[in-house]
Amino acid sequence: MTKVAKHTTAQVTSADSEFYLPADAFFRANLPTALTFDDVSLATLYSEILPKDADTSTFLSDALRLQIPVISSDMDTVTESRMAIAMALNGGLGLIHYNMPAREQVKEVARVKRHIHGLIQDPITVAPDALIGDVLKLIESKRFSFSTFPVVDGAGILVGLLSGNVVKDRYKTKKVADVMTPRAQLITEKESAVAKDPIKASDAFFTRHVGINKMLVVDAAGRLRGLVTSSDVEKITAEAKSRRKPSRDSQFRLVVGAALSPVRKPDGSLDHEKILEHVEHLVSEHVDAIAVSTAHGHTAGVGDVVKLVRGAFPELTLIAGNVTSASGVAFLADCGANAIKIGQGPGSICTTRIVAGVGIPQLTALHVASHAAKLKNVKLIADGGITKSGDIVKALTLSDAVILGGLLAGCREAPGEIMEISGKVYKQYRGMGSLSAMKAGSAARYGHDKNDQTRKVAAEGIEALKEVSGSVDDVLGILIGGVQSGMGYLGASTLPELRSKARYIRVSPAGQKEAAPHDVIEVSTRTNSS
């Protein structure tokens, strides 16, 4: 009796392993055809994992851990500080694009790092002789989401606090000094008392001083040394209890990355000095990762930039790409990159495959790349072509994180105007290799010179529109819910487990049709919350 049962179990298991193959056997069996997301489906496995308990955290380097494996693309219609803040608050990472003056990019990074922070060491201040009208203009031009400012004189001495209650148009002609709460009426805290643990110190301060919601920190000479807001402290303490945690650095600052342009001199050689100076500025604002983002990462130029930055900043997390081969991954790893971006031409706005005839469908590219990633001990980031949460699950069976462009471009946190066409609202979304984006600065990414008027440059991207899709919180909530579902189906409690457990099956065109809703009339139950 027992013998028969054992025999049956073995037969059952061997049927599974014959038809549902692990990555290497599966991609080899499908050669010479390269596959992408919709070509495959994942086989489910016995599970004891509830989706809500699946741990989505991942590492991009030994130093940089994300709570969710999602990065917003370094595109000028996707990631500036507002998007990067929303990404980090949701546990991911935003890569600030470089189609802006270098100084502006540094400021964008600083905005993220100062967003919610145990102790804001360099708070935005106003001068006592400024007018309220000037403060209003400052808020608008910098897109600040707050309107209360410490007031400091030319020597950095705290002289008062300008409350948001008086930062109103009706007071625009009044001087800050005339409407602020003066220093004598402010309760402040000494720097020495908070330095060790700003969160604990400020938690105690706000409990002691009922109704006060800004803790101003001063040194012995009365100079402003920092600011803690009660809402930040409450959010940080609440975070400790909540399931979804923001991605923060060791100082409680949100994490952020920045794309790096391989700046060249007029003679075409890399401008080492300019590149290093810019990275230095980003590092002094505590940037968490630098991404050397190009369309072709397996090149001497990209290798040189990665080596240059790695040489000068041994501890900095370096992302580089894009490549679609194992030798490309090994090359960038040897140059010093921690994480390699995989993807050439899969993006929703990309025309590289049409224009240049190159590129590999994304899942096969990821699988080939993963051979080198294992050997070189680097991380892989799947960049482009993701249109639904199921694609993210499939990508994560072969990589450590994904980059999203199109899925986030319609969010209100993405840069760009909202426009209305026939009653529907849209946002602009353009490829960084589109003519307009290259003119704005991204030509170097595609190996062109934006000032070169003599040659007709071939665009490798299009300009498009995305329907407005609500907030990053909503979009990521749905996507991560899908990722956790996938992990539950595979019985994977962590992403490394998802990678080791994944088994694949090829899907026919009829199978693809079967996978989407069919033979029904779909009824939308979406609410108006977005």
d(C-alpha 350, C-alpha 293), whole Å: 15
Q: Least distance in Å: CB of 424 to ligand XMP?
A: 20
Is the Cβ of residue 336 or residue 347 nearer to ligand XMP in the bound state?
347
Number of Cβ atoms within 10 Å of the Cβ of 481: 13
Q: With respect to ligand XMP, which residue has the nearer C-beta, 118 or 347?
A: 347
Other CB atoms within 10 A of residue 428 CB: 18
Q: At closest approach, how far in Å is the CB of 95 from ligand XMP?
A: 9
- Determine contact, residues 290/260, Cβ cutoff 8 Å: yes
Q: How far is the CB of 474 from ligand XMP (least distance, A)?
A: 17
3-state secondary structure of 339: strand
In angstroms, the CA 215 to CA 225 distance is 11
CB of 72 to ligand XMP, least distance (A): 9
Q: Which residues pair with 205 in a beta bridge?
A: none
How near is the Cβ of 288 to ligand XMP at its closest, in Å? Answer: 18
Q: Which of 350, 411, 430, 503 is catalytic?
A: 350
Question: Between 275 and 295, whose beta carbon lies closer to ligand XMP?
Answer: 295
CA distances to 34, 156, 331, 397, 416 from 370, in Å: 15, 52, 13, 10, 36
Two structure tokens written together for 368: 């080939």
Give 44's DSSP letter. P
- Report how far residue 139's alpha carbon sits from residue 145's, in angstroms, rounded to the nearest whole number: 8
Q: Which of 222, 203, 221 is nearest to 213 (CA)?
A: 203
Q: How far apart are CA 150 and CA 135, in angstroms?
A: 12
Output 70 or 236, the one with its CB closest to ligand XMP: 70
CB nearer ligand XMP, residue 288 or residue 383: 383
Rounded CA-CA distance 443/440 in Å is 8
Half-sphere exposure (CA, 13 Å, Cβ side) for 228?
Answer: 28
**Nearest to ligand XMP of 69, 433 (CB atom):** 433
One-letter-per-residue 3-state SS of 132-161? HHHHHHHHHHHCCCCCCEEEECCCCEEEEE
Instruction: Give catalytic status of residue 353 as yes or no.
Output: no
φ/ψ bin of 250: left (φ > 0), alpha (ψ from -120 to 50), beta (otherwise) = alpha
Residue 335 is a catalytic residue: no
Q: Cα(84)–Cα(429) distance, rounded to whole angstroms? A: 17
Query: Of the two residues 226 and 385, which places its CB atom closer to ligand XMP in the complex?
Result: 385
Name the strand (E) or helix (H) holding 228. Answer: strand 224-229
For residue 206, the minimal CB distance to ligand XMP (Å) is: 41
φ/ψ of 5, rounded to 5, equals -60, -45
Which residues of the chain form contacts with ligand XMP (CB under 6 A)? 73, 75, 295, 322, 343, 345, 347-350, 352, 383-386, 403-406, 431-434, 460-461
Residue nearest to ligand XMP (CB): 461
Tell me the two tokens of residue 219: 């040194």
Least Cβ distance, residue 39 to ligand XMP (angstroms):
16
Catalytic residue IDs:
350, 445
